[in-house]
Amino acid sequence: MLLIHCPYCEQDLPELEFAYAGEAHIARPADPSKLTDEEWRDFLFIRTNPKGVHFERWRHVNGCARFFNAVRETVGDKFLATYRADEPRPDISSLTGDAK
Amino acid sequence: MTATTDPGVTVTELPPPTRITLRVADPTGQPLPTRIGAIEGCALCLGPDEWLLEGDAAADLVAGLPGPYSAVEVSDREITYLLEGPAVLDLLATGCPRDLASMPVGAGARTVYDTAQVVLVREANDRFRLTVWRSFAPHVRALFDIAMREIAAGL
Ligand SMILES: [Zn+2]
């Protein structure tokens, strides 16, 4: 079982306490009524779905109940970092070391 | 291996105490623990803005808060079991994925047992209180009974 570091509990805790909650850093449009149907569709449904480093939301639902963000490498399922929901996106190269 | 009939742990349903779920956006300067899992007086910190208050002092604590806060009495929402005995960690390990051996005495946590959300409080090295929503209690209790038979049989 994976251990996930909760940035609010400040502990490594079992995956079963957590729930995945989709891609992170998706900004809601300031004025949705100004968007075309295609732009609204992209906001709602179109995601990056990368093979590799992915920024995503998780919720410690069976714990402190907070949403937070994580950087996960989707091939090996390795968590590179987790950070609080109000913190900025971390720099990928500082997490993966050799990434260019 | 010699089979025994003593599972080394007992499960007792406790009468419901006063239970209040408290939400406070900014607990700075208030009489509440702020480290998640910490217990001070009757208050267990479940999350950055959430506490479970248990016992006779709960209502007084709420009355003394400067506010604003949200406090809801949920005494009858849950069932509390007292789990006690040298095999208590073996019993909990049958359904709880947390490393409970490293949980300090006097601390607590919200976690899962099987698929049910529970709140655990470690009262002593060999004694925990497990609080589970009422509708999940028969499921959890039935799993405890199976696990206790397995532990007693030396499995
Ligand atoms: Zn947490």
How confident is the prediction for chain B on average, in pLDDT? 94
Residue B30 Cα to ligand 1 middle (Å):
21
Enumerate domains of chain A plus CATH numbers: 3-96 (3.30.2270.10)
Residue B148 Cα to ligand 1 middle (Å):
30
Please tell me the least confidently modeled range out of B20-24, B66-70, B103-107.
B66-70
Q: Is the pLDDT of residue B1 over 70?
A: no
Query: Coil, helix or strand for B150?
Result: helix
Among the four given CATH numbers 1.10.8.60, 2.60.40.1180, 3.30.1360.120, 3.30.300.180, the one describing domain B10-15+76-152? 3.30.1360.120
ipTM for the predicted complex: 0.90
Given an 8 Å threshold on Cβ–Cβ distance, is B47 in contact with A14? no
DSSP B40-99: ETTEEEEETTEEEEESTTHHHHHHT--S--EEEE-TTTEEEEEEESTTHHHHHHTT--S-
Looking at residue A74, its pLDDT comes to: 95
Query: Coil, helix or strand for B146?
Result: helix
Q: Is the pLDDT of residue B2 over 90?
A: no
Per-position b or e across B45-63, b if 16+ CB within 10 A of its CB: bbbbbbbbbbeeebeebbe
pLDDT tens column, A41-88:
999 999 999 999 999 999 999 999 999 999 999 999 999 999 999 999
